[in-house]
Structure 1
Amino acid sequence: MSARADRSLVGFWRHLRPAVSQAGDHAAADGLIAFSPVWAAAAIFSLAGDRGMLIFRDGALLGLMTWAAIAVALLLVWRPRWTPLLFLLAGVMLTRYAVAMPVAGNNKMIAAFMNASILVICAHALLRYSSATEMRENIYENMRVVARALLAIMYFYGIFHKINTDFLDPRVSCAVALYMPLADGFGLQDSLTGKYLAIWSTFIVEAIAIVSLYWKRWFAVGLILALMFHFVIPISVYSWYMDFSSLVLALYILSVPREVSQRFYDSCARLFRFLRDRFGALGQALPFGVVIGGAVTVVAVLSLFSRQAHIAPSHIYQSVWVLMWVAYGGIGMLLLAEAALSHLPWRGTSAPSRPLWLYVLPATLFIVCTAPYIGLRTEASIAMFSNLHTEAGTSNHLLIPQPPYLFPYLNDVAMIKASSEPDLQYFADRNQGLVMFSLKERLRNKPDAWVTYELNGVRHERATAQSLGASIHASAWERKLLIFKHVDFARPKVCTH
């Protein structure tokens, strides 16, 4: 086959579909095979959280793309050796994200950057290399650089955004909001010591996690602390955190030394080989059936004997997925922790330096996350559960009390007083507001609605989309990229998300 034909998509599939057994390619092959199903599982947890799209409430296009992504992800779980399926999943998920924008989810944004990196890295390998061994080695090593950088950025802003007066306040801190549901079963939900421990342990764990990503000799210390933290937070049921934690697990499988991911792969492979040998071809599906069936059964029984007169279907749905996370996340993280401890302290040799262009997408994410301080946007900036406030020219951040706005979007905050729309009336009832960009966008989608608001001390009665020029106030790019939290000027600032 000619080199040109070999570099076609058909050649890509032919080269990378089977896992190879040559010694020189063994670690790269195992690393990709270990990562692929975990990345697919992270996609499934994320897609499961978008209930509106699953039932086509957000339109036929997004509904079809969601189910297409689920189908590809399930196929990748079933056939993790077929690396082109990873490429296909990244493409479907990234396209779906672009169509759905603006998207508030921080985990979805990080996943989008990783999916974009997978596409670029695979395309680069396809164009540059002709052999399967070189392709796999290049794809695996380049993806590891990006995954580690994305984790480092996530933890950096996970610390930086939280350096504010309200996150440090045990009365309202988001760390306490996550702590209290977990501590309730032990009767410690009102413990002031426990609340402060929750606040400061967040900084400590995330700081150790950053250092350990690049201090490879003791990488396992930060890894295990991070895995414990990310295993627990979905169990708080404060929010749909399974997608975030499963995303982190997948990125860690790429970030750890390659010997660790290879050992993780070997542990998983032994289990599935045993099941296949014992129960035949369908034996590989047995663990999934047991976990799903067990979760559904437990939730159904508990719901049946619950003292509550009515349990919301959404609560039942989330409870099933939390139990599936407990099984999947618990086993996956234990196997990865065991693999890491077997290499503590790590004494391997570092891989050769990788090209600088790999850092372009992570650097872009780093810049995007400065958005709350430069006046650009407040959602999708890794400011989740941080109590951060940067609107109207002031901030509760201890290091940036007066944000240096480079963009004007956060200057004007409309305090909602009344509205014909229930969603806007909700803000009025709680004395909350919206930046003017968000208010106009909400009215643009509901041209018959009216809202009374106060801006800079001036009251505006029964404004509509037409009176505010909502149809022409922003470009298509602005509507895709800008998304803002609602604004609460009450102090201390309570945790929202």
Structure 2
Amino acid sequence: MSAHADRSVHGFWGNFWRQLRPSMSEATERVSADGLIAFSPVWAAAAIFSLAGDRGMLLFRDGPLLGLMSWAAISVALLLIWRPRWTPLLVLLAGVMATRYAIAMPVAGNNKMIAAFMNAGILAICAHAVLRYGNSAQMRENIYENMRVVARALLAVMYFYGIFHKINSDFLDPRVSCAVALYMPLADGFGLQNSLTGKYFAIWSTFIVEAIAIVSLYWKRWFAVGLLLALMFHFVIPISVYSWYMDFSSLVLALYILSVPREVSERFYDSCARLFRLLRDRFGLLGQALPFGVVIGGAVTLVGVLSVFSRQASIPPSHAYQSVWVLMWVVYGGLTMLLLADAAINHLPWRGTVGPQRPMWLYAVPATLFIVCTAPYLGLRTEASIAMFSNLHTEAGVSNHLVITQPLALFPYQSDVAMIKASSDPDLQHFADRNQGLVMFSLKERLRKKPEQWVTYELNGVRYEKATAHSLGAFTHASSWERKLLIFKHVDFARPKVCTH
């Protein structure tokens, strides 16, 4: 290696890691002016909520590599919460989470896919800043402003498909709509779970809230209107306990920290910093950890006490585990969103100035996500396309979408749907019991992973008895790229199509 190249490499890493130990002048700056400080701990919290939902990985059921990477990511996230000014920790967390996602693919979670795109954006933006700027302050400013562009665009793509995929006959049907599936657990305590008016309100309010959210992302003057509606919506849905929604809502919260005007993030950071300074002054360094200990301890204690006095013989450990995390979300999500809402209201309407135009290459990340989410209509994957809780159906050449009434089917993966009739595998037998099917790609992949199992299925009116991985050619039917990128929902041909997820 030449001397010049050697100096370049050392300069790259020197500039990058110098941020771990800010200079005295940097340390005395008014830290609230740096939006990265406001974003970093919230992004770390979103990672922890996501990782907590993957219990199998945390317990090493998915292999030692993913288990170790999961615990490594938790460690880095906790350290980033403790030291949010250490920007390289944010980069390290993004790298670990992105690598973990790539190894675990195919991954069905939409929130994990959006987070992976954001993590990829963080890595690209930070690499660009390190190569271009020698000054640490310029580097952080550039990173922050570029990350804001990506975060806002990712939210816009998410809300766009959150509306577009739902424009189908079954989502608009109050008997089966996924909006109603989320509404009923929340309305049950008020005795309104069977209210037809309430069900229609749940359906149409989904469209209204997400439409306002998109407009407000780019209509800066009235950004707070969409933000407040979005915060209320995303705070409530994890409490429905219909699914593990804490990761999704915490992800959106973190992206909003970047999407709001700088002055709002500054005020939000000031509010948080005052609390932690007070605790540090009163209890020393450990005072900063006190709120976390109180919340975690209180949640565990409350769930434990309720379990003891529950009328049920025993509460499943998975339910108790999720209940603890829901309670933690209520406190963390509620407090964080209130502080952000307060900061936003104080800047409504916003009268600041728009910063300089950012480079166009930043839009490559959200543009790629936008293209990926067209997959259901092209005959590609139906999972991880932001089609969650949308009632969307595009398999076997039939679509319930009211705009794209006939799938384009440029790819054949959704064409053949095997209706499961019987199987030696309990998971496949579950589909048989519910008269559900799988696209052939998914069926072959399931058998490939369990070559000792058999399945009886019906395809295009023909019944196939006790097929195995060997008889179906499951070991050679797809390339490694197809196995990494393609993942499909199970298929239910009953109409109206009930909400699955």
Instruction: Report the TM-score when normalising by structure 2.
Output: 0.97
- CA separation in 1, counterparts of 2:184 and 2:395? 28
1:12 Cα offset (Å): 1.1
Q: Would the aligned equivalents of 1:148 and 1:251 in 2 still touch at CA under 8 Å? A: yes
1:361 Cα offset (Å): 1.0
Q: Would the aligned equivalents of 2:223 and 2:260 in 1 still touch at CA under 8 Å? A: yes
Amino acid at match of 1:252: Y
Q: How does 1:75-86 map to 2 (within 5 A)?
A: 75-86=79-90
**Residue in structure 1 matched with residue 182 of structure 2 by the alignment:** 178
1:10 Cα offset (Å): 3.1
1:9-56 per-position Cα deviation (integer Å, ceiling 9, x unaligned): 232121364388669985785300010000000000000000000110
1:394-452 per-position Cα deviation (integer Å, ceiling 9, x unaligned): 11101111111111100000011111111111111111100000000011111111111
Q: Does 1:203 align with 2:207?
A: yes
Q: Would the aligned equivalents of 2:34 and 2:141 in 1 still touch at CA under 8 Å? A: no
**Residue in structure 1 matched with residue 353 of structure 2 by the alignment:** 349
- Structure 1 residue corresponding to 2:124, chosen from 114, 120, 125: 120
- Structure 1 residue corresponding to 2:219, chosen from 215, 220, 237: 215
- CA separation in 1, counterparts of 2:417 and 2:90? 43
Q: Does 1:366 align with 2:361?
A: no
Q: Does 1:288 align with 2:292?
A: yes
Amino acid at match of 1:263: R
Q: Does 1:143 align with 2:125?
A: no
Q: Would the aligned equivalents of 2:253 and 2:337 in 1 still touch at CA under 8 Å? A: yes
- For 1:144, what is the secondary structure of its paired residue? helix
- Structure 1 residue corresponding to 2:472, chosen from 468, 472, 492: 468
**Residue in structure 1 matched with residue 335 of structure 2 by the alignment:** 331
Cα root mean square deviation, aligned = 1.6
- Structure 2 residue corresponding to 1:268, chosen from 246, 251, 272: 272
- For 1:486, what is the secondary structure of its paired residue? coil
- CA separation in 2, counterparts of 1:436 and 1:445? 14
- CA separation in 1, counterparts of 2:439 and 2:89? 42
1:310 Cα offset (Å): 1.5
- For 1:234, what is the secondary structure of its paired residue? helix
- For 1:466, what is the secondary structure of its paired residue? coil
1:461 Cα offset (Å): 1.1
**Residue in structure 2 matched with residue 50 of structure 1 by the alignment:** 54
- CA separation in 2, counterparts of 1:82 and 1:23? 11
**Residue in structure 2 matched with residue 386 of structure 1 by the alignment:** 390
**Residue in structure 1 matched with residue 315 of structure 2 by the alignment:** 311
Distance 1:461 1:301, change over 3 A: same
- CA separation in 2, counterparts of 1:65 and 1:128? 31
- CA separation in 2, counterparts of 1:8 and 1:14? 10
**Residue in structure 2 matched with residue 92 of structure 1 by the alignment:** 96
- For 1:465, what is the secondary structure of its paired residue? coil
- CA separation in 1, counterparts of 2:92 and 2:51? 16
Q: Would the aligned equivalents of 1:452 and 1:460 in 2 still touch at CA under 8 Å? A: yes
1:348 Cα offset (Å): 0.2
Q: Would the aligned equivalents of 2:180 and 2:203 in 1 still touch at CA under 8 Å? A: yes
Distance 1:317 1:303, change over 3 A: same
- Structure 1 residue corresponding to 2:229, chosen from 225, 246, 251: 225
- CA separation in 2, counterparts of 1:27 and 1:361? 29
- CA separation in 2, counterparts of 1:251 and 1:329? 14
1:383 Cα offset (Å): 0.3
**Residue in structure 2 matched with residue 398 of structure 1 by the alignment:** 402
Q: Would the aligned equivalents of 1:25 and 1:136 in 2 still touch at CA under 8 Å? A: no
Q: Does 1:237 align with 2:241?
A: yes
Of 295-304 and 45-54, deviating more is: 295-304
Q: Which runs of 5+ in 1 are unaligned?
A: none
Q: Would the aligned equivalents of 2:32 and 2:270 in 1 still touch at CA under 8 Å? A: no
- Structure 1 residue corresponding to 2:40, chosen from 36, 42, 59: 36
**Residue in structure 2 matched with residue 487 of structure 1 by the alignment:** 491
1:479 Cα offset (Å): 0.3
- CA separation in 2, counterparts of 1:289 and 1:6? 41
- For 1:452, what is the secondary structure of its paired residue? strand
Distance 1:378 1:4, change over 3 A: same
- For 1:460, what is the secondary structure of its paired residue? strand
1:70-99 per-position Cα deviation (integer Å, ceiling 9, x unaligned): 000000011101000000000000000000
- Structure 2 residue corresponding to 1:256, chosen from 236, 257, 260: 260
1:8 Cα offset (Å): 2.1
- Structure 2 residue corresponding to 1:458, chosen from 452, 456, 462: 462
- For 2:470, what is the secondary structure of its paired residue? helix
- CA separation in 1, counterparts of 2:112 and 2:327? 22
Distance 1:202 1:24, change over 3 A: farther
- CA separation in 2, counterparts of 1:267 and 1:120? 31
- For 1:415, what is the secondary structure of its paired residue? strand
Q: Does 1:411 align with 2:415?
A: yes
- For 2:410, what is the secondary structure of its paired residue? coil
- CA separation in 2, counterparts of 1:204 and 1:26? 39
Q: Would the aligned equivalents of 1:6 and 1:12 in 2 still touch at CA under 8 Å? A: no
- Structure 2 residue corresponding to 1:108, chosen from 95, 106, 112: 112
**Residue in structure 2 matched with residue 71 of structure 1 by the alignment:** 75
- CA separation in 2, counterparts of 1:87 and 1:439? 38
Of 18-27 and 406-415, deviating more is: 18-27
- For 1:472, what is the secondary structure of its paired residue? coil
Amino acid at match of 1:315: H
Q: Would the aligned equivalents of 1:28 and 1:137 in 2 still touch at CA under 8 Å? A: no
- For 1:402, what is the secondary structure of its paired residue? coil
Amino acid at match of 1:136: R
- CA separation in 1, counterparts of 2:31 and 2:349? 20
- For 1:490, what is the secondary structure of its paired residue? coil
Distance 1:403 1:28, change over 3 A: farther
- For 1:453, what is the secondary structure of its paired residue? strand
Q: Would the aligned equivalents of 1:5 and 1:11 in 2 still touch at CA under 8 Å? A: no
1:329 Cα offset (Å): 0.2
- CA separation in 2, counterparts of 1:192 and 1:295? 35
Aligned residues: 496
- For 2:212, what is the secondary structure of its paired residue? helix
- Structure 2 residue corresponding to 1:433, chosen from 426, 433, 437: 437
